[in-house]
Amino acid sequence: MAAGVSRSSPAGADLLVGIDVGTTNLKMAAVTPWGQVRHLVSRPTTVRRPRDGWAEFDLAAIWDDIIDGLRELRRACAPAARIVSIAIDSVGESFVGLNADGQAVTPCPTWFDRRTRNAREELGIDIRTWYETTGMADDDIATLHRLHWFLERDPSLKHTVRQWLNVGDAIVWRLSGRAVAAPSLAARSGLYDRHTQSWSAPLLESLGIEPDTLPDPVATASVAAGLSSEVAAATGILQGTPIVHAGHDHPCAGVGCRVISPGSLLDSTGTAEAVKVVVPGPLSFTDTLGGCYDCYPHAVPDRFVLSGHLPSAGAFLAWAAGLWSGQTDAHHWSTLEEATHSVPGARGVRALPFLEGTGSPFHRRDQAAELLGLRAFHSRSDLLRAAYEGCAAWLAHNVDVLTRIVGTSPTTIVAVGGGTRSELWLAIKAAFLGRHLRVPAVEEAAALGAALVGGMAVDAVAYNLDGVVEARTRTVAADSDEAAAYTEVVDDYRTIYGDRFGSV
């Protein structure tokens, strides 16, 4: 921990604020420099759905919620407490175009918006060059493809847009008046050179956009600017308070759970599921078995993450529960617990949870979800059990492939996110993996991680988190009998994957 910061500081001492703009919720946390969350504010993230397959963030509503939340957070803190930094992380890929007056002239598509296609080949970008530059798998999720879609339909945007900003970039700009790009989030655009840590001139040229329309790249864990006078007046937070762009939400969640050293694996489950292994530096196209996984900067300096995702994990379970129970609310855990009435292997039902494509390592957006092996004797509990097991099979397969890439099995597997509310899901994952899972008692890992990255930027927190207290954790043990029962099930899924997608 940096000099001058003590774990015994009084309640009214320095606090770090982390803002996490997530897919489902906006979270704001006030955190001590030793990692204790003192106050937490949460608001639903406002998303518009103008047509089937399209989804857009309402940035104006999100901004209003941030101002309101910061005001509430400031009131909740002790009067003598000093907020020493405000750091922002956000979802990846989502962007907006602003005109010269700072007004949005494009929507802000979410990362799961389905209007775009993979434009790499038509833009003349070689797959190996793409990966070696950006570290992004050949998937249509990157911002580059969304920009191409908008510019193709409205070429005038090249003249009317003065700034293209990711969600996190836009919030930093609104707070401070300066538009900057953090490495871990800039990488998600597919326009960022992970080696030079700058925008890639050849990729920008392929789109026909100018470098000065993108935010200034800054170093990981660095101060962007100070809080503006307007926001200070609206929130009660001191003008000039350092504003930090913490980057992409999943790496920040890793910081919040102390997944910062090579060998650690983070399994973060919410609407989607992300699995990340920390590596010491960028891996090549060949190293990653033909670019099967993203490899981009971590939210802490001098570290990278090797990353895969399943677009519909929690979303698949919610869909299954809603479809088979008739429920329409957003939380289906009680219905899903009916899966306990089935048995390991779901009496032969196999589920491919690919409502939005496979994610890693196959990256097949055209693949639909499937239920296999259905018979007349199967019950709803069997189908729900299969839904859980299909997600666990995806995780187990990805852990196997990641282990092949890095050469060693993960020393620790840390599970975070909304999915950890389901003890059944955790138990099934542990059984499929044949490994124990460590589940930190961290309510909002990304907001906590962002706050700590902000602390690094102002020298209140050490890069290695020395002096930061690790959250209480519990262990979800792999049941040996269930793990043995799943051996045949794992083989079934391996065969299904091979038949559908070939070998990796």
Q: How many CB atoms lie within 10 A of CB 400?
A: 15
Q: Cα separation of 283 and 132, whole Å?
A: 8
- Pull the structure tokens for residue 346: 């779901």
pLDDT of residue 5: 34
**What are the start-end ranges of the E strands in 129-263?**
163-166, 180-181, 192-193, 198-199, 216-217, 223-226, 242-248
pLDDT of residue 474: 93
Vertex 439 angle, CA 437 and 441, to 5°? 170
Coil vs helix vs strand at 306:
strand
- Pull the structure tokens for residue 158: 């090249």
- Dmax over Cα atoms in the chain, in whole Å? 68
Residue 483 near residue 431 (C-beta atoms within 8 A): yes
pLDDT of residue 4: 31
Residues of the chain with pLDDT below 70 are 1-12, 326-333
pLDDT of residue 26: 95
- Pull the structure tokens for residue 33: 């420099």
Q: Count of residues for the chain?
A: 504
Q: Cα separation of 20 and 450, whole Å?
A: 7
15 contacts: CB under 8 Å, gap ≥ 6: 30, 31, 32, 38, 77, 81, 82, 83, 84
- Which of 499, 485, 369 lies closest to 427, judged by CA? 485
Helix, strand counts (H, E) of the chain: 16, 23
Domains annotated on the chain, with CATH:
14-250 (3.30.420.40), 258-441+472-504 (3.30.420.40)
pLDDT of residue 11: 47
332 contacts: CB under 8 Å, gap ≥ 6: 317, 318, 321, 322, 325
Coil vs helix vs strand at 16:
strand
Residue 98 near residue 104 (C-beta atoms within 8 A): yes
**354-401 pLDDT, tens digit each:** 998 999 999 998 899 999 999 999 999 999 999 999 999 999 999 999
**Chain centroid, CA 357 distance in Å:** 17
